[in-house]
């Protein structure tokens, strides 16, 4: 998601934090749904199996958060505030892609 304003008032640090928070929340959602699906699959395949213990549930939840944070590291590193100069105004926006990724001219 790219927020376009006349001026990005929050600076590069908050740009990185907001992009990372977005990616972490997406990762936690996806990995939690995956773990839930795997748990339900195991419950259907082995209905007489002993239920999961609380310590295992805590470990799985912790690993979900760790994996989501690891997956968000590139956005924490690469996000930056970009500046586009137009004839009568300047636009600054937060982008999840760094300046190197947006410098390519695809019109050639």
* Mean predicted confidence (pLDDT) in 49-58: 82
The chain-wide mean pLDDT, for the chain, equals 85
pLDDT surpassing 90 at residue 88: no
* Mean predicted confidence (pLDDT) in 45-52: 80
The segment with the largest mean pLDDT, out of 52-56, 72-76, 86-90, is 72-76
pLDDT surpassing 60 at residue 5: no
* Mean predicted confidence (pLDDT) in 82-100: 81
The domain spans of the chain are 3-102
Which long-range contacts (C-beta less than 8 Å, at least 24 apart) are formed by 22-28? 22/75, 23/68, 23/71, 23/72, 23/75, 23/96, 24/68, 24/69, 24/72, 25/68, 26/68, 27/67, 27/68, 27/69, 27/71, 27/72, 28/64, 28/65, 28/68
pLDDT confidence of residue 49: 78
């Amino acid at each position: 998601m790219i927020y376009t304003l006349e001026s990005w008032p929050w600076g590069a640090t908050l740009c990185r934090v907001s992009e990372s928070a977005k990616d972490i929340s997406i990762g936690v959602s996806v990995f939690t749904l995956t773990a839930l699906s795997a748990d339900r699959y195991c419950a259907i395949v082995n209905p007489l199996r002993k239920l999961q213990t609380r310590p295992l549930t805590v470990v799985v939840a912790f690993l979900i958060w760790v994996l989501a944070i690891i997956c968000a590291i590139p956005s924490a590193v690469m996000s930056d505030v970009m500046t586009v100069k137009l004839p009568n105004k300047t636009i600054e926006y937060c982008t999840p892609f760094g300046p190197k990724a947006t410098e390519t001219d695809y019109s050639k």
